[in-house]
Amino acid sequence: MALLVLAVAPAWADSTAQSGVDWNSLPPGEQKLLSRFHDQWQTLPAARQQVLERGAQRWLSMTPEQREGAKARFQRWKQLSPGERQVVRERWQKFRALPPAEQQRIRASFKRFHQLTPEQRERLRKRWRELSPEDRAMMRERWRQRRQERGG
């Protein structure tokens, strides 16, 4: 399962990477985790090798709970249609293009939302779904104005 999570790792690739990773320089735990890539390792692009190495390091540093969460997220990812995956990739790219302060604001909002009880979150989702497209647009505009007034 860990290897499946690593398959998603290209999203985190550093496109400026130049030097490859020697298979023998990987610690045994990383080699075991990446064993399915052993035969093709030397033919993988350097950036892909580095991404896989970082993914293995990250996986090995996770707690069992974090690993379970990663597995669950990957299962949800696999269930998405190709079109839905493309939407997620595009949203991620848009997010990464935002200024760091805006990314932080979004992360803080996300954290606040997830600190609500499941019932509170569902009520908010329901209220949002029940809004007309016009009302949603008005709400978004109010949020933008409030952010600008606060200097964000």
* pLDDT tens for each residue of the chain, 152 residues long: 444 444 444 444 444 446 889 999 999 999 999 999 999 999 999 999 999 999 999 999 999 999 999 999 999 999 999 999 999 999 999 999 999 998 998 999 999 999 999 999 999 999 999 999 999 999 989 988 887 887 75
Q: What is the pLDDT of residue 4?
A: 43
pLDDT of residue 10: 47
Q: Are residues 34 and 77 in the same domain?
A: yes
pLDDT of the residue at 144: 85
Does 50 lie in the same domain as 66? yes
Residues 4 and 65 in one domain: yes
Q: Number of folded domains in the chain?
A: 2
Residue type, 26: L
Structure tokens at 75: 């299962």
pLDDT of the residue at 148: 82
Give, in degrees to the nearest 5, the angle at Cα 102 between 144 and 99.
120
Q: Which pairs count as long-range contacts for 146-151, CB under 8 Å and 24+ apart, including other chains? A: 147/105
Per-residue pLDDT at 12:
45
Last residue of a domain, one of 62, 79, 97: 97
Domain that holds residue 18: 1-97
Residue found by looking up tokens 């669950």 in the block? 72
Is the domain of 52 the same as that of 2?
Answer: yes
Give, in order, the Cα–Cα distances in Å from 12 to each of 63, 103, 125.
Answer: 21, 16, 30
State the Cα–Cα distance between residues 120 and 53, nearest whole angstrom: 40
Same domain, 63 and 2: yes
Whether residue 106 is found in the same domain as residue 84 = no
Contact 67, 2 (CB under 8 A): yes
Answer yes or no: do 145 and 87 share one domain.
no
Residues 6 and 79 in one domain: yes
CA distance 124 to 120: 6
- For residues 98 and 15, give the distance between their C-alpha atoms in angstroms, rounded to a whole number: 18
Pair (42, 110) in one structural domain: no
Read off the tokens for 87: 């939407």
Q: Are residues 93 and 104 in the same domain?
A: no
**Domain check: are 82 and 105 in the same one?**
no
Residue ranges of alpha helices (H) inside the chain are: 2-7, 28-33, 46-61, 64-79, 82-97, 100-115, 118-130, 133-149
Q: What is the pLDDT of residue 152?
A: 58
